[in-house]
Amino acid sequence: MKAIKILTAATLATAFFASCSNDEDFAQSNYPMDNVVRVTTNVKDITTRAFHSTNTLDEFAFCIVNSTNTKYSYDNIKVTKEASAWTPASQMLWQNASQPVDIIAYAPYYNVSRYETMSNATNYPVYVKEQQEADTYESDFLVYKKKGFVPGTDLKNGAVDITFTHALSLLNINIEFGNEFNETAPLASNPIKNINIGGSVKLGYADFTADVISVTADATSAPVLIVPVLGDFNAAANYDAHATVNYSAILIPQTIAQGFRVEFEIDGKNYAWTASESVTLEASKKHQLNLTVGKDVVKSGNISSEPWKEGTGGTLETE
């Protein structure tokens, strides 16, 4: 038997040797003696209210693909948060500590019957809502995949540590008002009405067989108008200051050759910013669009992107 690496006195006091289901001894103290599959979760975080974080996630789907023994394969098992723990709809077991498996998880959970197994789905439909709202999380699509997962070495504290990533694209829009809007008094409230994001499609398809789960836009869909979520409005502090407001929306990853735009109204007047060249909305990235608005026109705009990940937050685990 292999020697257990001594980390601390507490570790030495609690260390134990577990046995595989085939009675082979091994020294991984993080492997559960009962062979039960357990999970912990976190979400690469985001700071806007319409998108999942570790604390808002309440259910997801979980798959284990064991290529040598289907008895220990599990497909589209619903895992639900109960108090401070995750509980699967049915108990799952590891074959042993050394058998590699592939693990897939996604959220939100959906009880799909069109696929023989979810792990083989290459065209799982993913939609974003045209009217996006805070605290609903309906458009966010989270994914996780780990190939060749070996329980004896890859478990953390006896559990699969699932770090979900956002598979879609996030667009943050920051609008700065020129001081023309302070003509009679510093701008104290958001004057924008009927804001829309135009030019993108709302349907894509996820490929769970890819090494990195990806979502591809439906090439046959027509573009739609997406209503983003209102964020914070910052009033003008004085006549010379510039008020700002921000909006956010989740969009299907895609390249928009022409016609990507933001439209809104102020005091019954229509305003629009249209990209002067093609725009690529990348998966798992945050895109920042900064607009400056004058009394009569959108004066300027530019768009940039960065990875959609900021922190991991806390964790929850299965009992």
**What is the rounded CA–CA span in Å between residue 171 and residue 226?**
11
pLDDT band, very low/low/confident/very high, at 139 (cuts 50, 70, 90):
confident
Classify 308 as helix, strand or coil.
coil
SS3 of residue 257 by DSSP: coil
228-234: average pLDDT: 96
| Section 34-62 average pLDDT | 73
221 to 128, 201, 218: CA distances (angstroms): 13, 6, 6
Which residue, chain included where needed, has tokens 């022409």? 258
In this chain, the answer to whether the domains covering 34-166 and 169-307 adopt an identical fold is yes
pLDDT digits (tens, 9 = 90+) for 73-106: 999 999 999 887 899 999 999 999 999 999 999 9
Picking from 205, 175, 179, the residue whose alpha carbon sits closest to that of residue 190 is 175
How large a percentage of the chain has pLDDT more than 70?
83
| pLDDT one-digit tens code per residue, 277-303 | 999 999 999 999 999 999 888 877 778
53 with 35: CB under 8 angstroms? Answer: no
pLDDT at position 7 = 38
| Average of per-residue pLDDT across 143-165 | 95
User: Is pLDDT larger for residue 316 or for residue 148?
Assistant: 148
Residue type, 140: D
CA distance 61 to 53: 16
What's at 92, amino acid-wise? M
The architecture of the domain spanning 34-166 is Sandwich (2.60)
pLDDT band at 19 (very low <50, low <70, confident <90, very high): very low
E strand or H helix at 227: none
The CATH code for residues 169-307 is 2.60.40.2630
Q: Is the pLDDT of residue 200 over 70?
A: yes
Q: What's the mean per-residue pLDDT of the chain? A: 84
Of the candidates 79, 65, 75, the residue with the CA atom closest to the CA atom of residue 113: 75
Q: Where in the chain are the domains? A: 34-166, 169-307
Per-residue model confidence (pLDDT) at position 2: 41
DSSP 154: H
Please check the confidence at residue 23 and state whether its pLDDT lies above 70.
Answer: no
CA-nearest of 56, 146, 41 to 87 is: 41
